[in-house]
Amino acid sequence: MKKLLTLLLALSIACTTISCGTSTENTDLKSEPVSEASVLESESVSEASDLESEPVSEISLESNEVSTYTPTTGQKNALKSALSYLSVMPFSYDGLVDQLEYEQYTNEEAVYAASRCGADWKEQAVLCAKSYIETSAFSFSGLVDQLEYEGFTPSEAKYGANNCDADWKEQAAKCAESYLAVSSFSRKDLIEQLEYEGFTHEQAVYGVSQNGY
């Protein structure tokens, strides 16, 4: 009887040991997928983070390229020529580009120089307007038209005409005098001619009266 009990106890202990071993093995098997998923997820997050950071690096590279741009020899020389021209006479932006291209600079080099020469184009229009009225007679509208012909924008041309310190009545008198020096006019025809040149009626009458009419 004791032997039977001992045998039963031994069998019970053996079953318990086998059951525990199986449970441990199952636990180990179940834990493996969790560990692999964690690793994969961690790697995916890391890769995504690296991918997201790449455009920032590219943008920084592009920014560095722009900030370290070095002008070509042609652009440098075009800029020197532009500054030299502006030191002796006024130019509009378009007029300066045309002049530089006439000097055989490429359009790219001429545009580079005109854009970086530091000129105030409105003040250039004023200088150009003053040079015109020193040598010839202009009405306000006639001077604006002439400045636009030289390549100034409408706003730049009007600024130049408004700030050139011209006395438009005296300009009408000079214009009347120049007409009478080359041809004969009646008072009425001379007034009409001055008005055709852009002078107001009042300015035209003043100009004619200053020339004996």
Res. 100 pLDDT band, cuts 50 70 90:
very high
**For 40-68, how does the pLDDT look when each residue is reduced to its tens digit (9 = 90+)?**
444 443 444 443 444 434 334 444 545 68
Cβ neighbours of residue 26 closer than 8 Å, sequence gap 6 or more: none
Q: Provide the residue ranges of all domains of the chain, joining segments of one domain with +.
A: 70-119, 120-134+143-165, 167-213
Q: Class of 70-119 per CATH?
A: mainly alpha
**179 contacts 185 by C-beta, under 8 angstroms:** yes
Does 14 score more than 70 pLDDT?
Answer: no
Burial class of residue 74 (count of CB atoms within 10 Å of its CB; 0-12, 13-18, 19+): middle
Amino acid at 204: A
pTM above 0.85, yes or no: no
Cβ neighbours of residue 179 closer than 8 Å, sequence gap 6 or more: 185, 190, 193, 194
For the record, the structure tokens of 122 come out as 């409105």
Does 162 score more than 70 pLDDT?
Answer: yes
Res. 70 pLDDT band, cuts 50 70 90:
very high
**For 102-139, how does the pLDDT look when each residue is reduced to its tens digit (9 = 90+)?**
999 999 999 999 999 999 999 999 999 999 999 999 99
CA distance 150 to 122: 13
pLDDT given at position 68: 84
